[in-house]
Each structure stands twice: as structure tokens, then as C-alpha cells.
Structure 1
């Protein structure tokens, strides 16, 4: 999808989608037993899904699509599901009590693996990392369906699934797999609700809002981002700052100056409220003052004040970990865009020339799009100087 395009419409109802799954399987010449092997779901379970007696969850649809190589149905409507998440009560976890019983050691191992994969995303390319995360997610989902465990461990397992789904969606989006990411995010919201983790559900929805802001219908993105903030009133300071950052970005892309500035002020307020006595989820480890300055600068550029963005970006880049090549390169593209929009095309070209393009080879479609878009902006400004352009690069 390109900027301005909306996401697909809502999913067909359970019976219709089950029939679509069955038709796609039969058209490919697979038996139900064969499909169970390919998807790692049980044959009886798939029979119930295909006949509409069990819901066709996003992960079932996605595994059918992956195994058969064809699209089936469409992702659920993110705005509708966000509304349901905002006003609804958490569902009762549907845990199967068959199969081997698992204990604390295995769950702790899974939790540690999620953290390891999350930190890999700082340095490993998205195309390399995505299949690894997806395999881990598949295994965790299989375990939660087939194993036996206590309610306490069940909540931790669902948290693992929600965190893996968020990470998989984020990496898929970075790799340009824009149709995969919404399914992953929305399935993660369901898992987070089963875990009773409201902050994680908000993180998943705000991650989805971020993608839609960049490559979808921006009005929907703003609504989802705002709902994520509203729906997690007890979030810790860093989590709240993260949710507010994505709200600010969604508002900036719509040129909503008042909402953007209020959200950025609230980001700073939330960040200043952190202290050692407040527990923060591990998934917000990366949010610091430099990251907040970068987002503020991006919003300022979107709102037409690029000169004010330059010192924020310069300061953030000066202290940034150079091992995180993709983020460094992405933030350099914003510095280059700021220079271009301020009229200093030579400075913009110089910044782009310093970018480590090996990060593109590592699988970041997002970075490739940014470099291409800023180069085009520079070319337009050079051809039409001193006229200004209203078209902005995506992301």
C-alpha cells in the first residue's frame, strides 16, 4: 500500500471465512489431515473452523495463506476492533487442558527468548529476523493451544504471544510486508487481552496506528492511536510516553498542529515521571531522551518548522549507538529532509551521502523508501527553487 490508501475492509463472518478456507484447501488438493500437518493445527480443530463452528482467527487464516500461497479473506477492521478493545471487558482465556503439562522453567525460557529477539531487531536485518520470530510465534501459539498449565502460567504464555506478535508485526512492516503486519498486531491484541495486559494491548494498537499513519488512512491511524492512549490509563510513564509519541506522529501527518503539540508536551511530562521505583515492561527499553527528540523533530518537520528540528536531530545522532545502523540511517534521512525543507540542499545531500546503505541490504524497506523519497524531494526543490512542495516523503 502507498500513502493515503486505506487498509482492507473487515473480515467475512465466521461461516463465510471458514468456507473460504475449505475452498482454498480443496482447490490446492490438500486433505484436512494434510492441512493440519502444514499448519500445525489439529485436524478436528480445523474441521470446526472450516464449518464455522469455531472462529477463523487471524493466525489460522495466515497459516492457510502461507501454506497455500494464496490470499484468503482480509484482515479484521482495525478501527472496529480498536473500539471493541476500548469498551469491552477482557475475554476469559480459552486454554486447552490436554497434552503435556508445562512448568515455570519453560515459560521463563520463552520470556527470555522474546527479549533476545527484540534486541536482535536493533542490529539484524528484518528479512533475516522475520522468519525466526514467526517460527517462535507459531511454536508459542501451538503450546498455548495444546499444553496444560496453571492460570498464572497461561497469562504469561499469552503475554509471550502478544509480545512476539508485536515484534513480528513491527519487523514485517519494516520489511515492507504491510499486509502481514495488521493481522499480527490484531492477533496480538487478542493474546494481550487474554493475559489481562492492557498496556501490551495498547502497545500493539499504537504500533498498528504507526504503520497506518505511514502507509494507510491517516484518519483511522489517529483514531487508533488516540484510543490506545485512552484505553491504558494506568500505563507506566515510559509506556505512556511511547503511546503519546505515536499519537503525536499520527496527528502531525494530518497537519493537526494543536493535537501534535499537546501530545508532545504530554510525552515530556510522562517521561519526566519515570523513576526507579516504577516497573516498566522490557519492551520499552529503547525509549530515551534521544528517541523522544527524534520524534519531536519529525513532527516539527511535518508541521512545516524544519529549522527547529535540526538541533534535536543533530544532538540525538551525536550520541546514538552506531551499531544500530538502520535507526541511525533513518534518523539521518530526517535530518536531510529538514535541511531540504529549510532550503539547504547541499547540507541535505551531504547527510544522505553519509548514510550506511548496508542497512538497506539488511532488509529495511522502510529505510529504502525514506532515502528514495528524500532524494526526490531534493530533486524537486532543486528544479523549482525557491518554490515549496506540499508533497512529503512517507515515514
Structure 2
């Protein structure tokens, strides 16, 4: 089995510092350090990123991620076995559930939502059954409900990406209940802000902005990276609502919060980095009629992303294409759109399809 120590050895052999590896991938330096030292689980996409950057295979690395998602769906999980046994649940099973949540979350980077949603839904159902039918200590209770809330957030995000918006909203709201049981205000805020992101796209952006602001205010004690994520959702909903002042204020606060981030961030915020923040700023600029200023932001992000993260690359290219189209450079817009379409084929997504349609209509 590949370990974090294997990754570090391969990186050292390749002559790359941890900071350089972080620059070459979409992961933060602090997160990679925790993976290499065994403080965080080792997901498949981290192994794949190291293989791509270093140009060497890593022994015993996981195989095709779509196959992994289907194996996850058909295999019986430890949670189902525990639920049938009726025994008292301890920290070891809670740790198993936490590891499985992280693995599923990272599969979302490289597996289509259509393939992943059944596996996530199955795991969420089993986790809910576990917390309803088992007994456990107060400490274990918090860990279990936190994992259920994180699974619900992932299920909502994946369902939304398939266009199943009503299902996504149900997942999100159920997750808020689990987060409340765990007394995890940051996770509850993440669930509400995820819902606001969906509403900003398909509903009334003023409602989305209200929910996003509520989430950010309710998690005032959250870690810096979590605050940055919540404020990003405020900025996006505000831009969709055409509230320029609120948008720029939120984006400034995002930058301030992100600069304060440390090593104690929750794992579910692993994907938020400088490139993601720049893309969001560019998207807001486009929404507020400043496409020329937006163009450099997605361009830099696209170059930093590994190609197997095809959904994100396609989304970023769609924003790059829109910035060109709204600035009047139609040839550049068509080129960026064609690139986005080529990536979209490999990782289908309702979100990507909707974005490509928007750009196509501009052309």
C-alpha cells in the first residue's frame, strides 16, 4: 500500500521541495505535509498528482477512479456490518467513517457526479442508520454526526452537479441538522453556503446572498480558510444580485482571511487555494461587467490544474471564454470554448453543460 512516506521519498528523489510540489498541484503545502507525515489520509488524487508531476508511477497506487467508485457502491461497508451487529460504536469505527468520507470527497475531483452520487448516497444512508441504531460515547457521537454532515454536504454538491437540485437541497438541509447535533457551526455554515451557491445559480440571488451572509456570520469562530470559503459564497451571491459594493467588500475579506490560514483547517476545505480565489474574483468581475479585468485570473488557474481534474478545467475555461466574449475578442472566446468542450467530454457535469451553453449563446 502506498503511504505518505512513499510520496515524500519520491518527491525528494525528484528534487522537488514541498513548496514546489504545492505550486505544481492544486493542494496546499500544509495539506501535503500532513499527508506525507500520515496526519491526513492519503487519497487517490494526491497520488495521481505526484505521479504526474514527478513522471513516475508509485507502487501500489490505486487504479481507475471510476472503478473505485463502483467498487465502493457494491462493496459492503464496515458501517453496514456494525449496524447489523448492534454493538456499541467506538472511536475506531468513527475513524473508519472519517477516512471513507475523505476518500469519497477526493474521488469527486476525478470521477463524474453521475458515477459518484450512488456511492455517496449509499454511504450517507449507512452512516445515518449507524447513528440511529447504535450506542456511543459523547465524543464518538460528535465524530459520527460530523461525518454524516460532511457526507450530506458532498451528496448535495454531487447531486447539484448532476442537475438534481431538489435532491441537493434536501441533502444540504439534512446535513445542517447533523452539523447541529455535532455542535459544528463551521460545518453547518459550509452546508448553508453550499446551498446558497446553488440558489445563486438557479434561484433568486438575493435569497442566496442572505443565506450566504447568515452562514458567514454564524461561523464567526471558524478557521481562516473556512471563513475565506464562506465569504467567497457571499461574494458570488452578491455579484449575481448585482450588489457591487457587497461583492468587492466580501472579496477583500476573502483575501484577508486566506492569508491567515494555518495547519488546523478542516480537511473539507483542502481544495481552496489562491487559484480558486482568483477564479472566483474573475467570475464576479464578469458578472459585474468588467470582463477585461477578469481575463488573466482564470488563465493562471487553468495552467496550474492537472488535466485529470477535467470538470474544474472545463469550468475555468468557460469563464475564460466568457471574459473574452464579453470583451469582444470572439476568436479567443471560441478557442477557449473549444478547449472547455474537449475537457467536458471526459467528465460530464450539468454545471459545465450550463456554463458552455451560456458562452455558446454569447457567440
Matched, 1:165 2:165: no
Q: 320, 334, 339: which one pairs with 1:349? A: 334
Match of 2:225 in 1: 238
In the alignment, what sits opposite 1:107?
94
Distance 1:357 1:179 in 2: 29
Work out whether residues 360 and 367 of structure 1, in 8 Å CA contact, stay in contact via their aligned partners in 2. no
**How many angstroms apart in 1 are the aligned matches of 2:108 and 2:333?**
28
Cα distance in structure 2, aligned partners of 1:298 and 1:321: 21
1:294 maps to which residue? 279
| TM superposition shift of 1:338 | 0.2
Aligned to 2:167: 180
Q: 1:351 to 1:363 in 2, by over 3 A?
A: closer
TM-score of the superposed pair, with normalisation by structure 2: 0.75
Inter-partner Cα distance in structure 2 for 1:317 and 1:359: 14
How many residues in Structure 1 have an aligned counterpart in Structure 2? 280
TM-score, structure 1 as length reference: 0.69
Deviations 1:225-267 (A, max 9, x none): 0000000000100000000000000000011000000000000
Whether 2:268 is the aligned partner of 1:269: answer no
Counterparts of 1:356 and 1:342 in 2: how far apart (Å)?
21
In structure 2, what is the equivalent of residue 216 of structure 1?
A: 203
In the TM superposition, residue 372 of structure 1 has moved relative to its aligned partner by: 1.3
Give secondary structure in 2 for the equivalent of 1:255: coil
The residue that corresponds to 2:321 in the other structure is 336
Tell me by how many angstroms 1:361 deviates: 5.7
Deviation at 1:363, TM superposition (A): 3.4
Secondary structure at the aligned position of 1:354 is classed as helix
1:134 matched to which residue of 2?
121
Of the three residues 293, 302, 306, the one matched with 1:321 is: 306
- Asked if residue 362 in structure 1 is aligned to residue 356 in structure 2, the reply is no
Is the Cα–Cα contact under 8 Å of residues 310 and 347 in structure 2 kept in the other structure? no
Q: Counterpart of 1:308? A: 293
Which has the larger Rg?
1
1:254 corresponds, among 227, 237, 241, to: 241
For residues 360 and 226 of structure 1, the distance between their equivalents in structure 2, rounded to whole angstroms, comes to: 35
Q: What is the alpha-carbon root mean square deviation over aligned residues?
A: 1.4
**After superposition, what is the alpha-carbon deviation per residue over 1:39-87, rounded to whole angstroms, capped at 9, x for unaligned?**
xxxxxxxxxxxxxxxxxxxxxxxxxxxxxxxxxxxxxxxxxxxxxxxxx
2:58 aligns to what?
none
Q: Which runs of 5+ in 2 are unaligned?
A: 1-82
Q: Distance in 1 between matches of 2:221 and 2:340?
A: 40
**What residue ranges of structure 1 are gaps of 5+ in the alignment?**
1-95, 379-395
Q: CA offsets per residue over residues 345-368 of structure 1, 9 Å max, x none?
A: 111001111125453463311111
Q: 1:356 to 1:376 in 2, by over 3 A?
A: closer
In the TM superposition, residue 100 of structure 1 has moved relative to its aligned partner by: 1.8
Give matches, 1:38-187, under 5 Å. 99-187=86-174
Deviations 1:109-131 (CA, angstroms, capped at 9, x unpaired)? 10000000000000000000000
Deviations 1:89-147 (A, max 9, x none): xxxxxxx9x93211211111100000000000000000000000000000000000001
